[in-house]
Structure 1
Amino acid sequence: MFKKATCILLTIILITSFVTFQATAQEQNIVVKIDGEVVEFPDAKPFIDEQSRTLCPIRFIAENLGAEVLWNNEDKTVSIKKDDTDILLKIGDNTAVVNGVEKTFDTYPQIFEDRTYVPLRFISETLEMDVDWDGETKTVIITTPEKLAELSTEEHFDRYLTAMEKNKGFRGAVLVAKEGEILFNKGYGYANYEEKIKNTPDTLFAIGSITKQFTAMAIMQLYEKGLLDLEDAVSKYLPDVIEGDNITIRHLLTHTSGLVNYTDFLLEMVEAPEDTSIDFVLGLFKDEPLIFEPGTQWQYSNSGYVLLGYIVEKVSGVSYDEYLKENIFKPLEMNNTGTYYDKMEEDYAIGYMGITELTPVHEDEIVLKIAYGAGNILSTVNDLYKWDRALQTEKLVKKETLDMIFDIQEKMPESDMYTFDGYGFGWFIENNPELGKIVSHGGNTLSYSAQLSKYVDKDITIIITTNAGSYVLGPVEETLVDILMGNSYELPESLVEIELDAEVLKEYTGIYEYTKGFNIVITESEGQLYAQLPGQVKAEIYPKSQTEFFYKVIDAKITFNTDDNGKITGLVFEQGNTILETTRVGDAPQREIADIDKEIYEKYVGEYEIENIGIITVSVEDEKLYARLTGQVKLEILPMSETEFFYKDIQAEIDFVVANDGTVKGLVLKQEGLMFMAKKI
């Protein structure tokens, strides 16, 4: 009796799920196009499953993709064969055997009303077809190898970058040239989204640290004329720089000076300083202790290039802006290029943060006003190409001087973060085994990203300018090179958010360890999931499937790993070429805000010194308590008790040390399992 009731119950559940499935499939109205032609589904319709993957009836594979399909009812397997590709799928299993090799995918074949449904993207891509998804029209776009072969190189560039604009928030301009011929030159997105002004190859963008190429060139022009020597001590031009007798111009050019990076101090500035003179900027770092002895290490430093710009002024007798204009921009007819002070009144692209949700950023004014020789140039891809071509000639300096600029002057330490072999004068240098010598430099400000790369041995130039802050351009450049070399490439998948119940989201919360002391913390609040990396504020992440989540503010994603029972065991964070694989090691900390008298905040106001690290400044504003460590932004802290507080946006706590008489003696900062004692000063 009990067994029979159980069977009836299961039958009801299964029937109910089938009805829901059928209704969902009919109501979703998924469209499938192959090489631009709409495929008709007279009865059984494709649908999107709970993993956000499109499944289609197996008959579609046979009739529209030209494959031979065999169904084995005994072991519930599907065999798909096309040309030299054999695929074996099993109902309810997320693994397939492709040409004898087992592969895992993120959904599984299903049966409904004697119809077999298989994952469309997996099958199509395994058969070497290209798959894209248009979330607005709910259309799967399949392109066959035959159709792709008909596209020109220019059409491939545009196809990829259009998908990047639609799916990854790319906005800017791209120029690709080979052997002196421009192969592609086009803008994407908007220079001004509010007024719908489109980006073009002549749109003006801040190019950040690409400026260093021009600063180095100015120095080398003066060197070639005998007006300075690379071994000159900095003290010759600025006597009061700390250890200026031991720092040379060569050290500045190659990032081996040991000067502190002054842009680290900019985080403390909430508005542009009234004084933006070169003297003000030099004052930010010239008295700070060196971080290493000059010439003994390599460490990227914007301070060195600000100082180089100052030396250009001292030696030439004109301003840095004027020198570049008369000695580089005018001779090369780079009429749309200049420093921020030269171009600040012109219409240049508004900078934005975000990928799918954009926020205009106006704080870049601070950076551009005080970047000087480290990063204050604005330019266009067309003008930067004139610069690139001039570097093939002796228009600016002699060949021997160019060789010095593009030779490795300082080897760089090995790192997982980059593939460069060394640094020249204003250029990173890589000797790639397949592509030969590559000289390049990127540029980033708060809301602009840029890249200029010269593939010397193949005479290929790629120039990318964007009004997108912190945009990872490395993978974009790599794909453009693959297209140019005739290699295969992948289109970015669209970011379509699905709905997950708040109770389900809570299952993802926890502490995920990458290495000892480096944890990614996942928390949930009011139905929204947040991810927080060490030293960063927490950011919203959105579900694309049951295991894949994406950011809307940066081009990054998180994939959760599960065991055979569906229990979450870890996560993988991916941004560009950075991949962090973690293991779940514990639950996320649960904190509740205590209801205390806000007047108590006043006694905590003051400065607290952590020996050899910095000062924590505690302040009150609008009845809120804030803490700021030297070189960082101020962050709100919330009470757990009258003496215990936690940061609102990062995983850290502050405990105030209060004596019996109520006097505040100090505080304890707790973060990533470490404790830092700070004495009130």
Structure 2
Amino acid sequence: MIKRILFFFLVALSFNVVKAQDINKPKLDSLLDVLAANNKTMGSLTISKDGKVVYQRSVGYSSVEAKTLADAHTKYRIGSISKIFTGVIIFQLVEEKKLTLDATLDKFYPQMPNASKITIAQLLSHRSGLFNLTNEPEFGTYMTRPQTHEFLLSKMAALKPDFAPSEKFKYSNTNFILLSYIAEKITGKAYPEIVKQRVINKIGLKDTYYGGKINAAANEALSYDYNDGWKVAVETDMSIPTGAGAMVSTPADLDKFIEALFAGKLISAASLAQMKPTIEGYGMAMHKSAFKDKVGYGHGGAIDGFLSSLQYFPEDKLAVCYIKNGGSYTPENIITGALSIYFNQPYAIPSFKSIALKTEDLDKYLGVYASPTFPLKITVSKDGATLIGQATGQGSLRLEAKEGDRFLFEPAGIEMVFYPEKHQFLLKQGGREVLFTKE
């Protein structure tokens, strides 16, 4: 549900012009220090400009149990950022005329539902309709153990499709697991070797590889959930996600990867143009992102307790990546703060002091709000002494009260600042702002 909310908010918010100046490194340090001190994050941030690292900082531990502090070379599972690697490999095969985007899935895996109607392009753009393997009810019973391609293919083939091919967009890891297998069939090599030869070695990535069981002694981060202390999260066996989410890397290496991609070092400009989203927020293995008036491209990732975000802004030749192995503060929210500071935009370091309100204190905020620049209305209600926000057709969000008529929904990085006397609130998310007025 949070992904849907993020999609609607991120594509619809208004933009303002920004200008890059000198980097305020002490303020960037303060942002990460505050988050770490409040157990909101553990992880690493890297910002690169024109191919050079201009800021790097790590906070927290790669291993809480061993008290190993994270550093610039700590390796993290990057989840679905792996899909960009797979997308690059597929487009390389297309350029080599070993595959076409209109080739159908039945040429490789005829046992899959609708295989004769599903194209490579639809797999890349999540328009196949194939059910997401990681959402199937039994996934948790086998996700921590090694699995064969045959076992996973039987699982994916048995899942009822969500819709007919090309009918609409719906994110599904099944698409990219199958693309990984297709690349293996065409090349005759295992995916770890394919990605090593075609991407990692080609551009000289030093801390990037196909993951295995986490080795904390090799500076590989474990992931954690926080509940009155850091608790080690479950560990997915990396035989399962393959090209949908099995890569391990660092923010610095991922910055270098996406810079090389946009510099034409991995695929042609024509192929890159097909990867990039056009109208929707997702193209072929790539998301569209934004900060103020700037358009960026990249991907997010989630696996076990790891969350990550990689964004590249071509006009500024600016790459930014944050990967966390623990804490509830989203990478997108951290990147928004980092970009605000980088571009010398007004930005307040987060405060995590909550305030207690009575149910009657919330009455001045209640109502239905709309904005001419936003496609959905937002209804503000209450449940006892908790304020509730709900966009049309979306799930309800329980908002945390802060000082100054401010309310947060931290998991999605949403802030709502109310102006009761004007019957308005300002919605902030991902560096964008929209003013809503009560109907």
TM-score, normalised by the number of residues in structure 2: 0.76
The structural deviation recorded for 1:449 is 0.9
Partner of 1:98: none
**How many percent identity over aligned positions?**
23
* 1:118-163: CA deviation from partner (whole Å, max 9, x where unpaired): xxxxxxxxxxxxxxxxxxxxxxxxxxxxxxxx98533332233323
The structural deviation recorded for 1:389 is 3.1
The structural deviation recorded for 1:227 is 1.3
The structural deviation recorded for 1:182 is 1.7
| 1:280 maps to 2:174 | no
The structural deviation recorded for 1:549 is 8.0
1:246 aligns with one of 101, 117, 122: 117
Partner of 2:225: 353
SS in 2 for 1:467: strand
- Retained in 2: the 8 A contact 1:430–1:438? yes
| 1:295 maps to 2:166 | yes
- Retained in 2: the 8 A contact 1:448–1:470? no
Partners in 1 of 2:274 and 2:389 — Cα distance? 43
Map 1:252-271; keep pairs closer than 5 Å: 252-265=123-136, 269-270=140-141
Map 1:378-417; keep pairs closer than 5 Å: 378-406=248-276, 408=277, 411-412=279-280
SS in 1 for 2:326: coil
| 1:427 maps to 2:299 | no
More helix per residue: 2
| 1:317 maps to 2:199 | no
More strand per residue: 1
SS in 2 for 1:241: coil
| 1:478 maps to 2:336 | yes
Partner of 2:205: 334
Partner of 2:72: 201
TM-score, normalised by the number of residues in structure 1: 0.51
* 1:424-482: CA deviation from partner (whole Å, max 9, x where unpaired): 321113587822x4212111223111111110111111111111366423232223222
Map 1:494-505; keep pairs closer than 5 Å: 495-496=352-353
The structural deviation recorded for 1:330 is 2.2
Map 1:471-550; keep pairs closer than 5 Å: 471-493=329-351, 495-496=352-353, 522=383
Partner of 1:449: 307
- Retained in 2: the 8 A contact 1:258–1:292? yes
Gaps of 5+ in 1: 1-149, 413-419, 564-570, 584-681
Partners in 2 of 1:424 and 1:359 — Cα distance? 36
Q: What letter matches 1:447 in structure 2?
A: G
* 1:24-43: CA deviation from partner (whole Å, max 9, x where unpaired): xxxxxxxxxxxxxxxxxxxx
Map 1:586-625; keep pairs closer than 5 Å: none
Partners in 2 of 1:523 and 1:162 — Cα distance? 34
- Retained in 2: the 8 A contact 1:321–1:342? no
The structural deviation recorded for 1:186 is 1.4
Alpha-carbon spacing, 1:362–1:532, altered in 2? closer, same or farther (3 Å): farther
Rg: which structure is higher? 1
Gaps of 5+ in 2: 1-20, 369-375
SS in 2 for 1:159: helix
Partner of 2:14: none
- Retained in 2: the 8 A contact 1:509–1:522? no
- Retained in 2: the 8 A contact 1:352–1:469? yes
| 1:467 maps to 2:325 | yes
The structural deviation recorded for 1:224 is 1.6
* 1:650-678: CA deviation from partner (whole Å, max 9, x where unpaired): xxxxxxxxxxxxxxxxxxxxxxxxxxxxx
Partners in 2 of 1:481 and 1:254 — Cα distance? 28
- Retained in 2: the 8 A contact 1:449–1:469? no
| 1:210 maps to 2:81 | yes
Alpha-carbon spacing, 1:268–1:304, altered in 2? closer, same or farther (3 Å): closer
Partners in 2 of 1:319 and 1:432 — Cα distance? 38
- Retained in 2: the 8 A contact 1:175–1:464? yes
- Retained in 2: the 8 A contact 1:340–1:377? yes
Partner of 2:242: 372
CA-based RMSD: 4.3
Partners in 2 of 1:522 and 1:364 — Cα distance? 36
Partners in 2 of 1:520 and 1:371 — Cα distance? 40
Partners in 1 of 2:389 and 2:24 — Cα distance? 40
SS in 1 for 2:285: coil
Whose relative contact order is higher, 1 or 2, with alpha carbons under 8 Å and at least 6 apart? 2
Partners in 2 of 1:271 and 1:537 — Cα distance? 32
The structural deviation recorded for 1:261 is 1.5
Partners in 2 of 1:468 and 1:391 — Cα distance? 29
* 1:3-35: CA deviation from partner (whole Å, max 9, x where unpaired): xxxxxxxxxxxxxxxxxxxxxxxxxxxxxxxxx
- Retained in 1: the 8 A contact 2:87–2:285? yes
Partner of 1:438: 296
The structural deviation recorded for 1:241 is 0.8
